[in-house]
């Protein structure tokens, strides 16, 4: 007995990586069945690096699990170097694309992954020269910032005058432009261990070009082409990602192009359960079971109302054998470029794979952190559309959009201000005015945002705390 016990392989000590004001992707419920205690380590922003490192060491954590938001990415690359024996999942290299659209583009360029033709300028003068000579329409995006806004910082410009005007008033840095790709729709694919586990179409509203569903577009789960899934798998493998989401544009020219990819995305709880199960399989060296997630399951689950899907947990599937003769979705036929195939046969073409263990840095900051190496110095001299005069102690530019959104969507969460409401407030009122109101007359929020007393109180209190975190006051 005793001998057996000493032979028993010890499991690594896991910890969740959390950040104040950032929505949490995982919690303990996603890791149901992990026999040991899972620790939690929360990063408190601003000068918290050393304390954070100490806490990880003190808790003897072997594996830190969680998504790192864009604004903390570079800090965490430093932290990871100071914790060489801690494995980050996803690795900092895998999360490279989470930081900015520029990083997504550079990642795709390296691996020969199709993207809309993209132009990146750190030299503003060169960028403006480019605006004079290039073809229009173009898409202009803010490269660095929140990805959960959905098109909030994406603009279509039809002429050099429009492009110039946009960059005159927005300090987007670098200048990040793409050729405008006329699109049928785009598809969001989510993968676990390089296997697609969910996919859906997002179509733009009539006569619009933006496909984001948050702007009123529609989504459906049917008939995502196999070849599109293949591209998503290729991207996931290139990123060595345990879990991954890609947005793939389907052009009117029939071509597929990557618009976005990241480990941070919105996913139903049952999908996060699957990721937890996959990670437990990986981290227990196969002792805990890998989830069985058949390809195209989303065509069936997608028939369930999303309000129900949001509450469903721990979804499992039995193994299918072709001899079983009842009606079963894995007998469904799919057209592929290689001819018609049954879902059952396709499923084996998409195994759920382990990721590679790597002991080198693929994207070291010394080389790839262009943003901090080439800062925009002339910001002060630029013409900026902002309400001036009003003597506010806060420079709203110091409040990153991402952090402000996280604050706004979490501070009064139980009181009717969640992600959706926060986004609507930002869309209709704007960050500047919201901050001015919070500073000078928070009660006015009741009228301008249509929220209740309790929500105002929470927002006000949260704002004071938020300012302290950002050292704004």
Ligand X SMILES: Nc1ncnc2c1ncn2[C@@H]1O[C@H](COP(=O)(O)OP(=O)(O)O)[C@@H](O)[C@H]1O
Which tokens go with 110? Answer: 């390296």
Footprint on residues 175-234 left by ligand X (CB under 6 A) = 178, 180-181, 183, 186, 209-212
Q: Which of 154, 219, 266, 353 contacts ligand X by CB under 6 A?
A: 154
Considering only 214-222, 236-244, 257-265, 397-405, which stretch makes contact with Mg ion by CB under 5 A?
257-265
Map residues 231-250 to x or -, x wherever contact with ligand X holds by CB under 6 A.
----------------x---
Q: Are strands 175-179 and 138-141 parallel, antiparallel or unpaired?
A: antiparallel
CB of 205 vs ligand X, minimal distance in Å: 11
- Residue 268, SS3 per DSSP: coil
Backbone angles phi, psi at 262, to 5 degrees: -175, 165
Q: How far apart are CA 66 and CA 27, in angstroms?
A: 10
CB of 231 vs ligand X, minimal distance in Å: 16
140 binds ligand X (CB under 6 A): no
Cα–Cα separations (whole angstroms), residue 166 to 28, 110, 144, 155, 247: 45, 30, 16, 9, 26
CB 278 within 8 A of CB 29: no
266 binds ligand X (CB under 6 A): no
Q: CB-wise, 155 or 444, nearer to ligand X?
A: 155
Considering only 37-45, 79-87, 253-261, 438-446, which stretch makes contact with Mg ion by CB under 5 A?
253-261
List residues bridging with 192 in a β-sheet: 195, 243
166 binds ligand X (CB under 6 A): no
Which tokens go with 366? Answer: 């010394």
Please work out the total of residues on this chain that contact ligand X, with binding judged by CB under 6 A.
22
Q: CB-wise, 74 or 260, nearer to Mg ion?
A: 260
Considering only 103-111, 217-225, 252-260, 310-318, which stretch makes contact with Mg ion by CB under 5 A?
252-260
99 binds, among Mg ion, ligand X, none (CB under 5 to 8 A by kind): none
Footprint on residues 371-410 left by Mg ion (CB under 5 A) = none
Which tokens go with 240? Answer: 């060595």
Percentages helix, strand, coil for the chain (3-state, rounded to 5) are 40, 15, 45
CB of 141 vs ligand X, minimal distance in Å: 6
CA 65-67-69 angle, to 5 degrees, is 145
363 binds, among Mg ion, ligand X, none (CB under 5 to 8 A by kind): none
Which tokens go with 99? Answer: 């930081």
Footprint on residues 10-69 left by ligand X (CB under 6 A) = none
Which tokens go with 41? Answer: 């380590």
Please work out the total of residues on this chain that contact Mg ion, with binding judged by CB under 5 A.
1
Considering only 96-104, 128-136, 259-267, 302-310, which stretch makes contact with Mg ion by CB under 5 A?
259-267
CB 202 within 8 A of CB 211: yes
Q: How far apart are CA 359 and CA 434, in angstroms?
A: 45
211 binds, among ligand X, Mg ion, none (CB under 5 to 8 A by kind): ligand X
Q: CB-wise, 29 or 134, nearer to ligand X?
A: 134
Q: How far apart are CA 258 and CA 250, in angstroms?
A: 9
Q: Which among 336, 103, 350, 303 has a CA at the least distance from the CA of 227?
A: 336
116 binds ligand X (CB under 6 A): yes
CB of 439 vs ligand X, minimal distance in Å: 28
Q: Are strands 333-336 and 339-342 parallel, antiparallel or unpaired?
A: antiparallel
Q: Which among 72, 65, 59 has a CA at the least distance from the CA of 21?
A: 72
CA terminus-to-terminus distance, the chain: 62
139 binds, among ligand X, Mg ion, none (CB under 5 to 8 A by kind): ligand X
CB 73 within 8 A of CB 238: no
Considering only 126-134, 234-242, 258-266, 414-422, which stretch makes contact with Mg ion by CB under 5 A?
258-266
136 binds ligand X (CB under 6 A): no
180 binds, among ligand X, Mg ion, none (CB under 5 to 8 A by kind): ligand X
438 binds ligand X (CB under 6 A): no
209 binds, among ligand X, Mg ion, none (CB under 5 to 8 A by kind): ligand X
Q: CB-wise, 59 or 252, nearer to ligand X?
A: 252
101-125 in b/e form (b: 16+ CB < 10 A) is bbbbbbbbeeeebebbebbbbbebe
Q: How far apart are CA 219 and CA 199, in angstroms?
A: 10
Binding site for ligand X (CB under 6 A): 116, 139, 141, 147, 149-154, 178, 180-181, 183, 186, 209-212, 247, 259-260
Binding site for Mg ion (CB under 5 A): 260
């Amino acid at each position: 007995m005793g001998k057996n016990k000493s032979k028993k392989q010890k499991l690594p000590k896991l910890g969740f990586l959390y950040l104040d004001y950032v929505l949490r992707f995982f919690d303990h419920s996603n890791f149901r069945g992990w026999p040991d205690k899972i620790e939690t380590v929360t990063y408190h922003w601003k000068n918290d690096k050393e304390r954070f490192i100490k806490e990880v060491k003190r808790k003897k954590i072997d594996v830190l699990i969680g998504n790192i938001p864009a604004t903390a990415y570079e800090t965490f690359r430093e932290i990871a170097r100071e914790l060489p024996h801690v494995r980050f999942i996803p690795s900092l290299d895998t999360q490279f694309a989470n930081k900015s659209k520029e990083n997504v583009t550079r990642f795709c360029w390296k691996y020969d992954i199709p993207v809309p033709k993209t132009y990146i300028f750190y030299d503003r003068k060169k960028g403006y020269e480019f605006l004079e000579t290039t073809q229009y329409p173009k898409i202009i995006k803010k490269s660095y910032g929140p990805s959960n806004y959905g098109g909030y910082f994406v603009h279509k410009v039809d002429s050099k005058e429009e492009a110039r005007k946009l960059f005159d008033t927005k300090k987007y840095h670098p200048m990040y432009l793409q050729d405008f790709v006329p699109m049928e729709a785009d598809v969001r694919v989510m993968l676990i261990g390089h296997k697609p586990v969910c996919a859906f179409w997002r179509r733009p509203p009539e006569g619009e070009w933006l496909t984001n569903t948050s702007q009123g577009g529609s989504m459906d789960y049917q008939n995502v082409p196999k070849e599109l899934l293949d591209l998503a798998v290729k991207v996931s493998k290139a990123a060595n990602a345990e879990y991954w989401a890609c947005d793939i544009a389907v052009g009117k020219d029939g071509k597929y192009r990557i618009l976005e990819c990241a480990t941070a995305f919105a996913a139903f709880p049952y999908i996060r359960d699957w990721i937890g199960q996959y990670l437990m399989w990986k981290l227990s060296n196969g002792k805990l079971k890998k989830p069985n997630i058949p390809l195209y399951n989303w065509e069936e689950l997608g028939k369930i109302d999303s309000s129900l899907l949001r509450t469903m947990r721990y979804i499992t599937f039995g193994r299918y054998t072709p001899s079983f003769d009842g009606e079963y979705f894995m007998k469904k036929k799919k057209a592929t470029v290689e001819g018609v195939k049954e879902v059952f046969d396709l499923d084996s073409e998409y195994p759920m794979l382990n990721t590679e263990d790597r002991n080198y840095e693929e994207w070291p900051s010394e080389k790839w952190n262009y943003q901090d190496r080439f800062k925009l110095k002339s910001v002060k001299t630029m013409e900026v559309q902002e309400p001036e005069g009003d003597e506010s102690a806060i420079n709203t530019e110091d409040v990153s959009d991402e952090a402000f959104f996280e604050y706004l969507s979490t501070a009064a969460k139980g009181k009717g201000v969640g992600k959706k409401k926060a986004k609507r407030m930002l869309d209709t009122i704007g960050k500047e005015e919201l901050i001015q109101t919070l500073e000078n007359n928070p009660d006015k929020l009741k009228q301008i945002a249509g929220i209740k007393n309790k929500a105002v109180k929470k927002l006000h209190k949260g704002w004071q705390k938020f300012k302290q975190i950002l050292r704004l006051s």
